[in-house]
Structure 1
């Protein structure tokens, strides 16, 4: 397949690009830094530095959109919220417009989203049809998804990736989580009862490729492992795998002081399950958290 990819140098994008190339797919990636991205992705990947002058995406079999400003890197000031939105909404809108403008558009558009779509759901089990709690993360993801769905037609199906915490060897949320544990200062956030939907990077990549190849699938998919874990259990298992203590609980008040409104990312949660993905026949490699952490951290 000829695949157009955004966010190729990000946490998921790097592993996905590597896998697609190894499977003999032709990948073209959009990047603002072609020289740096070329060093990361290698010579097999063609690079575009802009969509300016493009009138369609005809000639590609699939478009995968993974681009977006990291959501947890900075406090959610008014300016940062707008940056989070613009980095997702503007590009997604352009891609949908180019897909719609073509005579022979890509057969599938796979676009990023997040379990943040649901907002903080407490202890409720969250499948794809769960009504959202309309917080900022819902506003961000709902518009993001709506812009992607504008590309849907009888020629192009759209799949939405409602992704949880991606466990990968380098970067992402796990890299930040391990720092206090390695210093012997790790532990749960708040009361630790909030659920953390997670997914191993290999299952994330395999899930995207699964959606690429199954022509009857469209709509939202929770890209999470089958068994979400409470923050308290996640912390205990992470400490066990790292051979470090995990009893230094961080009070919710301290988290809110440090993170402001974005504290909901760690103090709230979703007990999300991959119902539609499993119903379609996808098989996870990592269903339990401890083996997933062991595999990632040994790398």
Structure 2
């Protein structure tokens, strides 16, 4: 399997690359990973091929799967007007490049997995949110929705799309947990606001496992559908009729969150217990708003997001509870 990844060197892309290579080699299956980059001199593992966006415009290579993860971290700094423009551009430009590649190639990818976030739903408190839920409009929603709508244009070229709306990813190598380790280790960890806000999280192992599951499930269905199509085509030829082929391909949304969300209070206590450190401190909501401005909504306002599509598809979570996820980190 040939997989092209934008954002491959990031917190999620690198873990996905490592795991699928290890898993497929254990199963004696071939897999080849290519990372898209703007810097041809970027350091990378020996088993990864690099390709610049300029090279993508000219290449005649085909990829079975494209995984689109490129995008600047939404919580890395305050949301000034310029920052908001940058956050959007960092997602839109790579996606546009991938769409141009898809449109140009005669042999299309079998699947585009495109990143998004549970911010698509907006802040809705304790309301359970599945993939069929509606949204509340705020900056997070607009950012995610514009990214998603652009990626969905791949279906116009006959390429199925899987949108993965990711929650807070738990792993000490990065993300929210990585940023919190230092203050927690110094005994400065504590709840944010009143601590009642819901946090929808997923272990990085399960995020990687879920994306591999989505890819393999889709490719298996596509292979079965192709067999049925070949059979139908043979019948069509025998009957001297012309089969009509739909141009648009299917699109599916998946919430990549664990099935057991927690309050910020519970998250704080679990992390403190895992590190064997006290968690006496509290950062009140007004202080968070003063420190982070509009971006403080990511810390103060909760979302209870349910991974209904994954559960319905039969995905088995490796770490369904936060305690399990923390205790199994290295």
**Structure 1 residues 57, 111: CA separation in 2 closer, same or farther (over 3 Å shift)?**
farther
User: What residue number does 2:289 align with?
Assistant: 256
Structure showing greater Rg: 2
Alignment of 1:174-253 (within 5 A): 174-215=177-218, 216=221, 218-253=251-286
TM-score by length of 1: 0.94
Shift of 1:52: 5.1
User: What residue number does 1:103 align with?
Assistant: 106
Residues 155-176 of structure 1 deviation map (CA, whole Å, 9 limit, x = unaligned) = 4110011001111231111111
Shift of 1:100: 2.5
Separation in 2, partners of 1:184, 1:104: 56
Separation in 2, partners of 1:163, 1:33: 27
Shift of 1:273: 0.9
- Determine if contact 2:56/2:101 at 8 Å carries over to the other structure: no
Structure 1: runs of 5+ lacking an equivalent: none
**Structure 1 residues 56, 33: CA separation in 2 closer, same or farther (over 3 Å shift)?**
closer
User: What residue number does 1:147 align with?
Assistant: 150
Q: Which moved more, 1:226-235 or 1:209-218?
A: 209-218
Shift of 1:154: 7.2
TM-score by length of 2: 0.85
User: What residue number does 1:21 align with?
Assistant: 21
**Structure 1 residues 47, 268: CA separation in 2 closer, same or farther (over 3 Å shift)?**
same
Shift of 1:269: 1.8
Q: Which moved more, 1:258-267 or 1:28-37?
A: 28-37
Separation in 1, partners of 2:291, 2:93: 30
User: What residue number does 2:7 align with?
Assistant: 7
Shift of 1:56: 7.0
User: What residue number does 1:30 align with?
Assistant: 36
Aligned residues: 294
Separation in 1, partners of 2:164, 2:320: 18
- Determine if contact 1:9/1:37 at 8 Å carries over to the other structure: no
